[in-house]
Amino acid sequence: MSDDIIIRIRDLKTAYGDHVVHEHLDLDIRKGEIIGVIAPSGGGKSVLLRAIIGLKQPAAGSIEVFGKQLETLSEDQRSEVERRWGVMFQDGALFSNLTVRENVMVPMREHTNLSEQLSRELADMKILMAGLQPDAGPKYPSDLSGGMRKRAALARALALDPELLFLDEPTAGLDPITAAAFDQLIRSLQKAMGLTVFLVTHDVDTLNATCDRIAVLGDKHVLAVGTIDELRAFDHPWVQEYFGGPRGRAATGH
């Protein structure tokens, strides 16, 4: 496996019963890039993310992360790989009965033997890194605005200093100003930490602000991968409409 490919997907098939979501899907994610994943509604963006992190069992094909096929690993080996990535789910998926600090400490408790004191200090650092004020730590998710909850979920995804970050619709439901600030935060964290980011989104502004490449899913596989300019030239009706419609033109300055 080439050193600069962090995720390699070959001939992937995913299905729910008779409903096939992906078939013959191939995709490579390069080290250090932010790759956006877009698709028509129901096109399987989030299902692909779930398949990569092991929450959805593929029906066929192979997924390698960090050069390892996850389904062949023992529980300990798998835990070792999972320590190297962080996941921010679409709705944040924070534990409502835990404070923000306690939410961020969950992966530390699960994967490390750090002392309680050190875990607390590290959690507070991650909360700051995610753009929240220090006083957010003792608050509960219900005390936070939507944008702050997203940042709390990001702090938890960063808890173990991951090399690889999965973001599922990180700006969904945010107002444009909050969303733009979140996009800037992702870009600056990616540069500062050398992260590879797998970003599922439908937001053209987010793609334009953050992504090095974009993978377009459609017809159950990857239709195209490229920059926004390359995809604008790609002859496919949905892709043309996506980037050539009013929102797409406004976001990309065309």
pLDDT for 119-148, tens place per residue? 999 999 999 999 999 999 999 999 999 889
Annotate 131-177 with DSSP letters as a single string.
Answer: T--GGGTTS-GGGS-HHHHHHHHHHHHTTT--SEEEEESTTTT--HH
Same domain, 113 and 150: yes
* Boundary-marking domain end, from 106, 127, 161: 161
Same domain, 78 and 169: yes
Cα torsion 139, 125, 203, 207 to 10°: value is 180
Same domain, 140 and 66: no
For 59-64, what is the mean pLDDT?
95
Confidence class of residue 1 from pLDDT cuts 50, 70 and 90? very low
Same domain, 245 and 169: yes
β-strands 5-16, 164-168 pairing? unpaired
Exposure of 135 by Cβ count < 10 A (0-12 exposed, 13-18 middle, 19+ buried)?
exposed
- Looking at residue 70, what is its pLDDT? 85
- Looking at residue 2, what is its pLDDT? 52
In a domain, 42, yes or no: yes
Same domain, 230 and 166: yes
- Looking at residue 148, what is its pLDDT? 92
* Boundary-marking domain end, from 161, 179, 195: 161
In a domain, 63, yes or no: yes
What span, in angstroms and rounded, lies between the C-alpha atoms of 75 and 71?
10
Mean pLDDT of all residues belonging to the chain: 91
pLDDT > 70 fraction of the chain, expressed in percent and rounded: 94
pTM: 0.92
Same domain, 148 and 246: no
For 55-78, what is the mean pLDDT?
91
**Does the pLDDT value for residue 187 go beyond 70?**
yes
Which of 116, 160, 151 is closest to 133 using CA atoms? Answer: 151
Confidence class of residue 110 from pLDDT cuts 50, 70 and 90? confident
Those residues with Cβ within 8 angstroms of residue 246's Cβ, 6 or more apart along the chain or in another chain:
none
What CATH number has the domain bearing residue 65? 3.40.50.300
> Token match 């992190």: residue?
53
Same domain, 29 and 56: yes
Same domain, 167 and 248: yes
**Does the pLDDT value for residue 85 go beyond 60?**
yes
Q: Domain range for residue 118?
A: 97-161
Start-to-end CA distance of the chain, whole Å, equals 38
* Boundary-marking domain end, from 120, 142, 161: 161
Sheet of 68-69, strand order: 19-30, 5-16, 60-65, 68-69
